[in-house]
Structure 1
Amino acid sequence: MTPGSNVPLSAPRVAVDVAAPVRLDVSGLLLTADGKVRSDDDFVFYNQPQGGPGVTHRSGGGSGPDAITVDTDAVPAGIEKIVVTASLDGGGAFGGTTPTATVRNADDGSVIASFAPAGLGPETALVVVEVYRRGGAWKVRAVGQGYANGLAGIATDFGVNVEEPAAPGRISLDKGRVNLRKNETVSLVKGGKPLLSSVRMALGWEPAYGGRDIDLDASVLVYGPQRNHLETCYFGRLTVLNGAIQHSGDNLTGDGSGDDESITVHLGGLPPEATGLVFTVNSYSGQKFNKVAKAYCRLLDGASGEELVRFDLTGGEAKTGVLMAKLVKQFSGEWEMTALGTFVNGRTAKSLVAPGSSAL
């Protein structure tokens, strides 16, 4: 496709992925006839993957491109178009980088169209393509419009209330220990170099005040580039991937201060196909997380024991599982940790595989 050209959609469900030699943040905005979103819920991006009806964000897991999927049959009648945007992960301009948007049939993966806006310079964000209605049919148009003020500028232009940058830059470990809140991300870079040695994810919890002991189980779910499940390390399988991931063993009560269970990951020893790790805790006995106090996870240097990152989960929900955090390998080879704190129903590690895949 060339800028301004359009192609009819040959499938009701399409996925638009945007790839580049560097990692991109890809977003989608659902726009009405006046070119604005109805509310902030119509902004679909990595921190809000399930936004407006019919439009979802799919992470590439660090080794593939992110994508926006549009189910045209589910898009509300008042939405005229969905614009797909891209910005460089961590900031910066597109000069010297040519992104490629590929529109695929979301069900069989066949290619419908592709577009590569060329000649980019100071632009820090792009409206790459738009999926739009015309005469009762759906089409895709190549756009390639650049913005100099990042994804926040695009979002504001289309009516999103941006109180802080919509795609904040990642922080690193160079200034010492990092305390994360839900959905915040830290790049595992220390001294300007990616952390590729062993790390230990320690998880802890206590029974709620006046409550009885609660048996929770910590696990790590391992995924490939397409969010495909590869392995699960838990109390019933203490070592996986030829020893690259090791579990400390089961704690049956959560009693006592300090860590209850921990999982050591030898980042440099992981096979290339292992690009996403999701750390979970589930209640095998069926007790709900609103009966748990002081749930947390912390990432430590496997060699020195130094605490690098900490995430304290305040307030539990009446569900039996929680996705605590994820580690995702980037195109550059470095790893990023994101605090999740997402409660789901699942009493076993196996039951958390699907929610874990969706979180990548």
Structure 2
Amino acid sequence: MTQGGNAPLTAARVTVEVTAPKALDVSGLLLTEAGKVRSDADFVFFNAPHGPGVTHRPASGATPDAITIDTAAVPAGITKIVVTASPDEAGATFAGIEPTATVRDADSGQVLVTFTAPQLGRETALIVVEVYQRGGAWKVRAVGQGYANGLAGIATDFGVTVEDEPAPAAATATPVAPPVTAPAPAPAPAPVAPVAPPLPQSAPPMPPAPPAAPAAPPALTKITLDKGRVSLTKGGSVSLEKNGKPFLSSVRMGLGWEPAGRGRNIDLDASCIAFDAKREKLDTAWFMKLGIFNGAVAHSGDNLTGAGGGDDESITVHLDGLPPEVCGLVFVVNSFSGQKFTDVKNAYCRLVDAGSDQELVRFDLTQSEPHTGVVMCKLVRQYSGEWVMTAIGEYVDAKTARAMVKPAASML
């Protein structure tokens, strides 16, 4: 298909995959005849993956982000579903990474139509295609309309209430017309923070060096589990060895918290992000993907409020079942509901022997900061094969597991 072209849909259920040389976030909006959503529930994306007749499929391995539309299940009054895309990297534009939409029969996988957007420039979000109803039949149209103020601009234009950070510069987005002769020049790249050199591919990452000016001399003795339960402070580490030998094969990371006041429900989500020796993400166990590596990492499921005693969410790790390329596991917690961690009290993580249920290591967050995510701790496989747990407790602005990947990698 070419820009502006349309074609009839020959399947009742279709999946719209959007691919580009860089990772994308793909979303869908259900629109009425007036071109607006009925409510924020008509905005389907990775944080809200299910809408009436429309679902979001997250990227996994070689499978790209996608929106699946069941036209028979779309509610009366919805006449159009627009499929949008934006670069996963914050601040990135579409310059040089023009995306391609592939519309497939959702049941058979057969390709129905494809569309590649025209050359783009400073656009940070794009309406890729729209699936619409005309005369009782469903069709697909190639759009390729860019926006300079991101996915929030598109969402706001269609009536979605956007309260995420950073807020859009204006209440209504300004569409960017597709270039006619030449694309607008891309903005100068922002300064890039220095990144630690990659670790040797043949060996797993080592723990970070002590701070340049520590308040006290670094410990000369490795802390192990020889003397029983260990209470860690921020930056402290403990080897999961006892009497010089690996002590555990299966551990459970328990994470807990309480609302700070008035009993407000706070939906915090615990996740475990697995990395290789180059600090590249391999997979993530979170509330939308409870098991990874054939169950070697298993999530207990989503706790929406933090209510109840004991751990609010837990993640079990069978260390012996992890693939050899897994060198680091980072445990993170983010506020899906958007409250800051200053609205949370008594947040902690603890490492438990999954076999005996004995608590081995505990790290209590004694101070909170006004952010929506925290990197709690990490388990790192050493050159010797032993595993070491380190308490981190660093706060970041991130409301989803996906947004925690880069901060987590930087702390390995």
Structures share fold, TM-score greater than 0.5: yes
Q: Take 1:147 and 1:297, find their aligned partners in 2: how far apart are those partners?
A: 36
* Residue 233 in structure 1 maps to residue 296 in structure 2: yes
One of 251, 254, 257 as aligned partner of 1:204: 254
Alpha-carbon distance change, 335 to 73 in structure 1, aligned in 2, over 3 angstroms: farther
- Report the Cα offset of residue 252 of structure 1: 3.1
**Deviations for 1:59-109, whole angstroms, at most 9, x for unmatched residues?**
112543200000111110111100000111123111111210000001111
**Deviations for 1:253-288, whole angstroms, at most 9, x for unmatched residues?**
3546617xxxxxxxxxxxxxxxxxxxxxxxxxxxxx
Partner of 2:233: none
Secondary structure class of the residue paired with 1:80: strand
Supply the RMSD in Å over aligned alpha carbons.
4.2
Alpha-carbon distance change, 220 to 130 in structure 1, aligned in 2, over 3 angstroms: closer
Partner of 1:286: none
Q: Take 1:329 and 1:133, find their aligned partners in 2: how far apart are those partners?
A: 38
Q: Take 1:166 and 1:104, find their aligned partners in 2: how far apart are those partners?
A: 34
**Preserved contact between residue 376 and residue 391 of structure 2 (Cα < 8 Å):** no
Q: Take 2:293 and 2:109, find their aligned partners in 1: how far apart are those partners?
A: 22
Q: Take 1:193 and 1:109, find their aligned partners in 2: how far apart are those partners?
A: 41
Alpha-carbon distance change, 21 to 257 in structure 1, aligned in 2, over 3 angstroms: closer
Partner of 2:69: 70
**Preserved contact between residue 128 and residue 142 of structure 1 (Cα < 8 Å):** yes
Partner of 2:195: 191
Secondary structure class of the residue paired with 2:151: helix
- Greater relative CO, 1 or 2 (CA 8 Å, sep 6+): 1
Partner of 2:82: 83
Alpha-carbon distance change, 192 to 87 in structure 1, aligned in 2, over 3 angstroms: farther
Q: Take 1:239 and 1:326, find their aligned partners in 2: how far apart are those partners?
A: 25
- Report the Cα offset of residue 48 of structure 1: 1.2
Alpha-carbon distance change, 69 to 309 in structure 1, aligned in 2, over 3 angstroms: farther
- Report the Cα offset of residue 298 of structure 1: 2.9
**Preserved contact between residue 19 and residue 65 of structure 1 (Cα < 8 Å):** yes
Q: What are the residue-to-residue correspondences of 1:142-291 with 2, within 5 Å?
A: 142-165=142-165, 191=195, 197-198=204-205, 203-204=253-254, 231-233=294-296, 238-240=319-321, 243-244=324-325, 250-255=354-359, 258=362
Most deviating of 94-103 and 228-237: 228-237
Partner of 1:61: 60
Specify the code of the residue in structure 1 equivalent to 2:391.
E
Alpha-carbon distance change, 94 to 302 in structure 1, aligned in 2, over 3 angstroms: same
Alpha-carbon distance change, 11 to 336 in structure 1, aligned in 2, over 3 angstroms: farther
Q: Take 2:292 and 2:36, find their aligned partners in 1: how far apart are those partners?
A: 38
Partner of 2:26: 26
Q: Take 1:65 and 1:336, find their aligned partners in 2: how far apart are those partners?
A: 23
Partner of 1:117: 117
Q: Take 1:205 and 1:46, find their aligned partners in 2: how far apart are those partners?
A: 23
Alpha-carbon distance change, 307 to 191 in structure 1, aligned in 2, over 3 angstroms: farther
Alpha-carbon distance change, 193 to 59 in structure 1, aligned in 2, over 3 angstroms: farther
Q: Take 1:80 and 1:242, find their aligned partners in 2: how far apart are those partners?
A: 47
Most deviating of 231-240 and 123-132: 231-240
Point out the structure with max Rg over C-alpha.
Answer: 2
Specify the code of the residue in structure 1 equivalent to 2:35.
G
Alpha-carbon distance change, 154 to 42 in structure 1, aligned in 2, over 3 angstroms: same
Q: Take 2:54 and 2:162, find their aligned partners in 1: how far apart are those partners?
A: 20
Q: Take 2:403 and 2:293, find their aligned partners in 1: how far apart are those partners?
A: 14
Structure 1 unaligned runs (5+)?
A: 169-188, 209-217, 260-295, 312-324, 338-360
TM-score (structure 1 length as normaliser): 0.59
Partner of 2:102: 102
**Preserved contact between residue 84 and residue 128 of structure 2 (Cα < 8 Å):** yes
**Preserved contact between residue 273 and residue 283 of structure 2 (Cα < 8 Å):** no
- Report the Cα offset of residue 204 of structure 1: 2.6
**Preserved contact between residue 301 and residue 308 of structure 1 (Cα < 8 Å):** no
**Preserved contact between residue 252 and residue 354 of structure 2 (Cα < 8 Å):** no
Partner of 1:307: 391
Secondary structure class of the residue paired with 1:258: strand
Q: Take 2:27 and 2:56, find their aligned partners in 1: how far apart are those partners?
A: 7
Alpha-carbon distance change, 158 to 41 in structure 1, aligned in 2, over 3 angstroms: same
Q: Take 1:154 and 1:68, find their aligned partners in 2: how far apart are those partners?
A: 16
TM-score (structure 2 length as normaliser): 0.52
Structure 2 unaligned runs (5+)?
A: 169-192, 208-239, 241-250, 259-270, 275-281, 298-315, 330-351, 364-374, 383-387
Partner of 1:172: none
Secondary structure class of the residue paired with 1:81: strand
Secondary structure class of the residue paired with 1:156: helix
Specify the code of the residue in structure 1 equivalent to 2:357.
T
Alpha-carbon distance change, 88 to 13 in structure 1, aligned in 2, over 3 angstroms: same
One of 377, 380, 384 as aligned partner of 1:298: 377
Secondary structure class of the residue paired with 2:7: strand
Q: Take 2:12 and 2:408, find their aligned partners in 1: how far apart are those partners?
A: 34
Partner of 1:285: none
Alpha-carbon distance change, 336 to 89 in structure 1, aligned in 2, over 3 angstroms: farther
